[in-house]
Amino acid sequence: MLDVELVELWRAGRVQLPALAGIYSRAAQELALVPHDDAEWTALRRQLVSVLAAAASQIDEAANGVTTAVAGYEQADEAAARELRRRLDAELPDGAKR
């Protein structure tokens, strides 16, 4: 069960969140290209582009955090598995196999 959840977290960090960040980033880029002469619209557009770009950056940071957490769990789990094998081997009589 935990492996399935880790795969979902990995997928979120490597696929889903980066895709979402890309949507926000493209929206910011496209909005920045919308021409207009009105000063109020230009100021609003600049603010919206800034908000969209910041959201894209924050989503990318979240994706990196999720990916780092999954990698950390994977390393800890591998260390725990090695320790379990070591302890099991220590419990076995000489020549016995697990």
Domain boundaries, the chain: 2-91
Rg (CA), the chain: 24
* Residue in the structure block whose two tokens are 């950056």: 57
pLDDT reading at 1 higher than 60: no
Q: How many CB atoms lie within 10 A of CB 91?
A: 9
This prediction's pTM: 0.77
- Residue 92 DSSP class: S
Give residue-wise pLDDT tens across range 3-59. 668 889 999 999 999 999 999 999 999 999 999 889 999 999 999 999 999 999 999
Residues counted in the chain: 98
Say if CB 49 and CB 28 are below 8 A apart.
yes
Residue type present at position 66: V
Say if CB 45 and CB 34 are below 8 A apart.
yes
